[in-house]
Chain A
Amino acid sequence: MAAVPQPDYHEIDRTVMRTLEWPGWKYWVWIGFLFTVVVWAGLCWVNQIYNGLGVTNLKQPNMWAMYITNFVFWVGIAHSGTLISAILYLFRSRWRTAVYRIAETMTAFAVMTAGLCPLMHLGRVWFFYWLLPYPNERWLQPDFRSPLVWDAFAVSTYLTISILFLFMGLIPDVATARDESTGWRKFFYGLVCLGWQGSDDQWRHYKGVYLLLAGLATPLVISVHSVVSWDFAMAQLPGWHSTIFAPYFVAGAIFSGCAMVLTLMIPVRKWLDLEDLITPWHIDNLARIVLFTSLIVTYSYLVESWMAWYSKDPFEVMTFHERYFGPYGYLFWLMVFCNCIVPLLLFSAKVRRNLTLLFIISLLINVGMWLERYVIIAGSLATNFMPSQWGFHTPSVTEASLTAGTFAFFLMMFSLFARFLPIISTTELKEGLRWLRQALRQESAEAA
């Protein structure tokens, strides 16, 4: 029988600080690869700005396609991070401690990536700031009735709050890192942690504000994806104009986000040697959330179709008919397979403990959720009110490159973060040490 690991404060610190050591060449090759993709996407973007959006395959009527899909996808990804860090914090879910930093980092970078997508999509990106209110001689302000302005506010608020939230969590951890390191690192970490020392007074305010931030982030996260869903639901277009979009999108966001957490955590835990801190118990819990939200999403698909059928609105009926059996039908069924059928495997505890399988499932869910947005966006636009103006979008090199660029950007930022800032919250792990020990005990008992 394997000895049950009994981590203490010091060991937790050591394990985490090990992740901050200067990385080896493999890491830099990985970063270099991602950077190359980002640069390539940047060049494609420059070309697109210079020549016009005609270099993409956007067209009448698919005015929106992959860029907005990416936007919704990345905003969605962001959501689970806040769920795990804020909502579960409020619910005092102890298992979140080990995973929440990964999730929250993912949130911050996913929102950042998401914020780039509407810029990529703008016809005149150099005027993007017209979306924000600022005093100007033209007397002109944005139209606050437009869901896109809500988006600008929601996403930028979300970005700010999630970065602050991430930063708040980081402060004591980075202070630990500061005190464990020397030289320029000490200086750097000292800057980041703002000279944190952990006095009782600081902790008092810290706890107060952390709780309140969690309390604010919770309604925020729900509002953000609701607002994103209203980008579509506010439009008249059949397939978009739907009252269930807000909860449907929020559930989908958490679903895809948790899947993304799994996708990131399973390799990261191995790569950074964090198996003792992120245990299969944690992963199991995540998988349960994935399963639960998958069921909600499946339910939403059914409700959506039912509403179309029940409304007898010919436009709706036709749009959904086309969605299932039209030129994009195969994407829809692939999406159903990825989002509704595959996650059912998670009912089995064995599957939830099988990391390889779980990783594959999480990847499939990511694909499925991307497709869901694409099917909703491009598919609904394709079969609009005017049959003469229907049209089906096919991705172009530029769009594919920029999409790849968003993934590369996200992964690059995440990878950089993971090696230079603590990717596991030592403070919270230490705080919840006894639950961690309990988890490890349970783990080894089950293994036996």
Chain B
Amino acid sequence: MIKISYATAIFVFCIGLYTILSKRNLFKTVIGLTIMESGALMLIVTAGYVHGGVPPLIPMEGQAVNPLPHAFTLTAIVIGASDVALALALVIKVHRRYKTVDLDKIRGLKE
């Protein structure tokens, strides 16, 4: 059962990968990055799943889920958000020079 969840996470990661590989729009590239990140985070969160688990808050009735992935995910979300913020800032900067967000036209540096 939990394997399906893992498979979904991997599928999401691959969608992100495909997005950054195939889309020419820079914004879509950034979106692809966030999708990739979501895939990786889904993997981590799924690892903490316990069947019938309750939230890890101290008056617990029954078996709590694994709290460690939650902590990791919280941290990683913030990191991903920062990445995206910076990426968007740079996209704005690049747009200012090229007047486009088409990746295939942003090739000033080559060879």
| Same assembly | no
